[in-house]
Amino acid sequence: MTAVLRDRDHWSSLVERISPPTRAWIDGGWRAARDEATFDAVSPRDGRTITAVARCDAADVDAAVTAARTAFEDDRWSGLAPAERKVLMVRWAEAIDANADELAALVSLEMGKPIADSRRIELRATRNTIAWFGEAADKVVDELPRVASDAVAMVTREPLGVVGAVVPWNFPLTMAAWKLGPSLATGNTVVLKPAEQSPLSALRLAELASEAGIPDGVVNVVPGFGETAGQALGRHPGVDVVTFTGSTDVGRMFLRYAADSNVKPVWLELGGKTPLIVLADAPDLDAAAAMAAWGIFFNTGQMCTAASRLLVQDRVADEVVSKIVEAARARRIGDPLDPGTELGPLVDATQRERVLGYVERGTGEGATLATGGKAALEETGGTFVEPTVFTGVRNDMTIAREEIFGPVLSVITFRDLDEAIALANDTPYGLAASLWTSDLSTAHRASRALRAGTVWVNCFEEGDLTVPFGGRKASGFGADKSLHAMEKFTTLKTTWIQL
């Protein structure tokens, strides 16, 4: 998919023409909440209400799970040959491609992602994920172990049934695709609960699945709040597996919901506190600094892998930090519907106050504010915050320990590699890490020692759908992406035939 990035007038006009979906998508059709309750979808670009959306609760979740269960049990999806599922999923990916401008505009409107990133990154990832897993649907094979000559043993991989998927607002379509792709490719049906901040794009995504020919009841979307719709999905005895991306605290809740209901498996991709380690022998300090800045300011820092801790060797720290501060001050803050915008708003006022609270905590604990740290463009009504850099940070400070989920960088210096690895690992999280060095031996030794699900060497946020993504420790467990993701939504059955 090649994205043609149009001008601001195109996006503004498109937003005016879009009539976003507002009701739950259940069993192939739109439904108001049973009690007709709604909540306001508010755009962080200007604080205006976009529309009122169905506020689903336990009754609506039950209806969606019932539809998904019926669709699973009558084999309208799981009974298809994998090659047939592949055709429909690829067709869905093509529909996403054909409607990419509309979907990108919805993402930018509802959660504030700059339109250049929504169109070129979010929509590309969404389309590619659905297509990739569709293509993989007929690549999953069973096993025929060698046993004694008087018996035949078969190991078959079967879909689990109904998948409850709960996704965050920072990448509303990408995260949905990461769950929907492997779930559907392996024959499951899905009930998706998008974040209350970003329901519109997910609802349109489900409608496109139907238009592509995916049967009714296979993909269902229930907008609502975590404490009602999310909890109901986690506790529902008709849900066979839950997959969740979000905060560590809410991840713990889903484990409790599973324990209190039908002991369903729960797969968690949670928070992070990614260290980006720059050694003095980095092959290109300019590139390392540029990537450190991009790694914390991209998506306004609202990324579980955000490079929120810069660990830089003391003898090059001043040089690297000065380049990052310069990049922070040059980053263009503005309307997410402007293709020239590099830093959009935070998702809502609550998140803005949370981020500013961490800035206050950082200065209070003795860190030095090198740049930023204030709300920005307040006259627009949007929830903007300046790109922020702290120096003189110790690894025991709150801003170095807790996930801020905003454009706030903590700079920590170290003397040698051993100290860098110790600092990098001294965190509750274990999602990702980045290392910059010219020494091959150092790269191998450090990547083995770093306790993270992904280690990037002389790069950041690189990879594709062939490699798994997941974490350790408080960052959760279970892989998204790659063929390994399909393992989460299947179960192994042994059949033994005595001859």
Compute the distance between CA of residue 262 and CA of residue 252 in angstroms, rounded to an integer.
16
How crowded is residue 399: how many other Cβ atoms within 10 Å of its Cβ?
Answer: 23
Task: Output phi, psi for 218, to 5 deg.
Answer: -80, -40
What string of H, E and C letters represents the secondary structure of 380-435?
HCCCEECCEEEECCCCCCHHHHCCCCCCEEEEEEECCHHHHHHHHHCCCEECEEEE
In the set 269, 342, 386, 487, the catalytic residue is 269
459 is catalytic: no
Residue found under tokens 């490719």:
185
Tell me which residue of 219, 222, 266 sits closest to 240, measured CA to CA.
266
Tell me which residue of 126, 166, 170 sits closest to 345, measured CA to CA.
170
The amino acid sitting at 343 is: L
Long-range contacts of 376-380, Cβ-Cβ distance < 8 Å, separation of 24 or more: 376/333, 377/333, 377/334, 377/345, 380/45, 380/46, 380/335
Compute the distance between CA of residue 448 and CA of residue 433 in angstroms, rounded to an integer.
11
Q: Would you state the structure tokens that stand for residue 383, as one six-digit string?
A: 């929830």
Instruction: Annotate 135-183 with DSSP letters as a single string.
Output: HHGGG---B-----TTEEEEEEEEE-SEEEEE--SSSHHHHHHHHHHHH
In the set 56, 196, 207, 304, the catalytic residue is 304
Catalytic residue list: 269, 304
